[in-house]
Amino acid sequence: MINCGFNFNNTFARVIGDGRDTLFWEDTWIGDRRFKEKFPRLYRLEEDKDAKVCDWVRWVDSIPHATWNWSRSPFGRGSDDLEMLLNLISSYNSAQNSQQNWRWNLSVDGTFYTKILASNLDEKLYRHLRNDMGIVINKLIPQSISIFTWRAMRRRLPV
């Protein structure tokens, strides 16, 4: 599936809820990397590296307020990193009263549906086959016939 341009793991997003089950530095909860990897200077300054999101960030009227436990105050590039971190946290929309959950990005309501997955896979597979083989796949032809033709052209028919 990855060769066709479809990464199944990237179709899910973590919803942290109230932050009681999510570690601030160790878990990926905003973006695609952990904060300890994205902001190593700040991570080195932090005294409590195992703090949870709910321990550090409190939302008051949908505005996040963070409390820190630094070994010393960040300065220079560390203060620039802190500003970037605060911007990321403030752009995050928290479901403050809900529990941790997962959301499927391919559906509007966040629920996993096999029909949507199948149509996305078909589209990616057909696009990959057109680019790879230089053939046109007609969706009016049954899928089994298209697959048979594709296998025959590649001399991959099971006998």
**Residue spans per domain, the chain:** 9-102, 113-153
So what's the pLDDT on residue 44?
92
Say which amino acid occupies 66.
A
Three-class SS of residue 47?
Answer: coil
Q: What is the pTM of this model?
A: 0.53
Backbone angles phi, psi at 101, to 5 degrees: -155, 180
Radius of gyration of the chain (CA): 23
> Tokens 């599936």 correspond to what residue?
1
| Whole-number Å distance between alpha carbons of 42 and 149 | 57
Distance (Å, whole) CA 51 – CA 22: 9
Over the stretch 18-64, which tens digit does the pLDDT of each residue have?
677 788 888 887 877 889 999 999 999 999 888 888 877 776 776 77
Q: What pLDDT is attached to residue 17?
A: 65
Q: What pLDDT, on a 0 to 100 scale, did the predictor assign at position 137?
A: 61
